[in-house]
């Protein structure tokens, strides 16, 4: 920071400069990461809260930088989004996820109805040829569209309702399932929800975490579950970390759970092991 005299420092300017430099480096690095194969997709099990079996996986992107090591998606996804690199990166994630799932389905009888959930960013969703890309990926992987779930957030729909609705309907025509991610944290698109072909609401973990104590969040989770069911949707709770969470969520009528209580996101190899052992909770 620059000393401007009388105890005033120009911390802000140099900070902004550092951030701009960091951002440019991150863009260069992200581009290179895709070319050099530094990305991996991890898979976090989604569990049926009644039966305790795996119903599918959420695909979560991982980046191992050769010098900096593991870099969190919270750091690089926003940069990938801002630079537009999320489009080719996201397409790569879709391709990996569909082909991994297809392998598991072919390899294990008890895996033939598993699904894979893939996060779709706002920019990716706005891409002109998203549907063609998805068709190609399904064709190349041999996966039936009904086993693919796309996770979008409320921000994808807000301000873009008619276009979003039309794309969602075309995805639905391919039997692809649609989830609203981080439900309850975004701007409310509640008034439109019943007119969108959405199958699943994912309750954000900020609502799930406090439900093991007696408090208002339990009412919020209950309200989301009731809303979902009245619209013929299912509910996945994110951030399930304890047995008490599981018990409470079951009592509240939530169908599925995902979180460290069951499993952290796994490498494709570890997910294969889990399936080979027919793991149950």
Per CB under 5 A, residues contacting Ca ion are 119, 151, 181-182, 204, 238
For ligand C2E, which residue of 83, 121, 127, 189 counts as binding (CB under 6 A)? 121
Nearest Cα to Cα of residue 26 among 90, 71, 89:
71
Compute the least distance from the CB of residue 12 to ligand C2E, in Å: 28
> Residue 79 and residue 72: Cα distance in Å, rounded?
12
Q: What is the 3-state secondary structure (H, E, C) of 3-63?
A: ECCCCCECHHHHHHHHHHHHHHHHHHHHHHHHHHCCEEEEEEEEEECCCCCEEEEEEEEEE
121 binds, among Ca ion, ligand C2E, none (CB under 5 to 8 A by kind): ligand C2E
Q: Could you tell me which of 40, 41, 45, 42 has the C-alpha nearest to residue 275?
A: 45
- Over the window 85 to 114, marking each residue x when it contacts ligand C2E by CB under 6 A and - when it does not, the resulting string is -x---x--x---------------------
For position 241 contacting ligand C2E by CB under 6 A, the verdict is yes
259 binds, among Ca ion, ligand C2E, none (CB under 5 to 8 A by kind): ligand C2E
Among ligand C2E, Ca ion, none, the one that 60 touches (CB under a kind-dependent 5 to 8 A) is ligand C2E
Among positions 29, 83, 115, 119, the unique one binding ligand C2E when judged by CB under 6 A: 119
* Bridging pattern class, strands 234-237 and 256-257: parallel
The window from 18-26, 129-137, 210-218, 259-267 that contacts ligand C2E (CB under 6 A) reads 259-267
Q: Which residue has the tokens 């569909």?
A: 98
Q: Which is nearer to ligand C2E, 18 or 150 (CB)?
A: 150
Q: How are beta strands 200-203 and 54-65 bridged, if at all? A: unpaired
């Amino acid at each position: 920071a620059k000393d401007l005299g009388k105890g005033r420092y120009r911390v802000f300017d140099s900070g902004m400069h550092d951030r701009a430099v960091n951002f440019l480096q991150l863009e260069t690095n992200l581009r290179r990461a895709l070319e050099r194969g530094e990305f991996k997709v991890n898979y976090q099990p989604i569990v049926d809260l009644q039966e305790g079996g795996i119903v599918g996986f959420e695909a979560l992107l991982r980046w191992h930088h050769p010098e900096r090591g593991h870099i969190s998606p919270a750091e690089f996804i926003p940069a990938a989004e801002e630079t537009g690199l999320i489009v080719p990166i996201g397409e790569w994630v879709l391709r990996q996820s569909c082909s991994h799932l297809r392998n598991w389905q072919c390899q294990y009888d008890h895996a033939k109805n598993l699904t894979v959930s893939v996060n779709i960013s706002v920019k990716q969703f706005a891409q002109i040829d998203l549907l063609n890309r998805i068709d190609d990926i399904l064709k190349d992987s041999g996966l039936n569209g009904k086993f693919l779930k796309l996770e979008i957030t409320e921000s994808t729909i807000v301000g873009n309702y008619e276009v979003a609705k039309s794309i969602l309907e075309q995805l639905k025509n391919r039997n692809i399932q649609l989830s609203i991610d981080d439900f309850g944290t975004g701007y409310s698109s509640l008034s439109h929800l019943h007119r969108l072909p959405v199958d699943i609401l994912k309750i954000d973990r900020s609502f799930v975490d406090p439900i093991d104590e007696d408090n208002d969040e339990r009412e919020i989770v209950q309200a989301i579950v009731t809303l979902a069911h009245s619209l013929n949707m299912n509910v996945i709770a994110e951030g399930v970390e304890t047995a008490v969470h599981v018990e409470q969520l079951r009592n509240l009528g939530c169908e599925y759970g995902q979180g460290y209580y069951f499993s952290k996101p796994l490498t494709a190899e570890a997910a294969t092991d889990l399936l080979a052992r027919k793991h149950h909770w």
